[in-house]
Amino acid sequence: MNDQTPAGMPITEEHRLLHRLAGEFSAEMEMFMGQEQPLRGQGTMHNRLLFDGRYLHQHFQASPMAPGQPAFNGEGYWGYNTVSKVFEIVWIDSVSTMLQVERGTFNDWCWDMRGELTDPHSGKPLFKRSLINVDNANEYQMTIQLARQPEQWQTSMEIRYTRI
């Protein structure tokens, strides 16, 4: 460490926004993947704060949404980057082999997170947008949208979280 490196970056008001999401939540999911009716499922999300509240660790578990599908498990890390002034999420799960990275902003109790990944079917770029809306102290919802072309979003999943 040199004289110009801070001993520790301070926790900001943006970090404290994530504190509202800490706790145990039930999850009601709907997946829209081209079928006539959405697939529906249930799960649980455990969110806990790490490193004095700098990060939110997410652990998600869900039952299969259709016969023959595996159970779904995922882990995420979410924080606010005080250098670049954006929120950042890294997500991994049991049905893919990629790290999903999203960056975004917060406005009016809604995070707008965006990233780019590779479509596992075509190998072409696929744009991802996650909208996380906080309804109140006990409920929030996430809408995941995908697009093959920038800004041509189609909703692929909606999850409503309710504090347990």
User: What is the b/e burial string over 138-163, where b = at least 16 CB atoms within 10 angstroms of the residue's CB?
Assistant: eebbbbbbbbeeeeebeebbbbbbee
Average pLDDT over the chain reads 92
The CATH H-level superfamily of 13-163 is Calycin beta-barrel core domain (2.40.128.20)
Model confidence, pTM: 0.90
pLDDT band per the 50, 70, 90 thresholds, residue 1:
very low
pLDDT band per the 50, 70, 90 thresholds, residue 7:
low
pLDDT greater than 80 at residue 122: yes
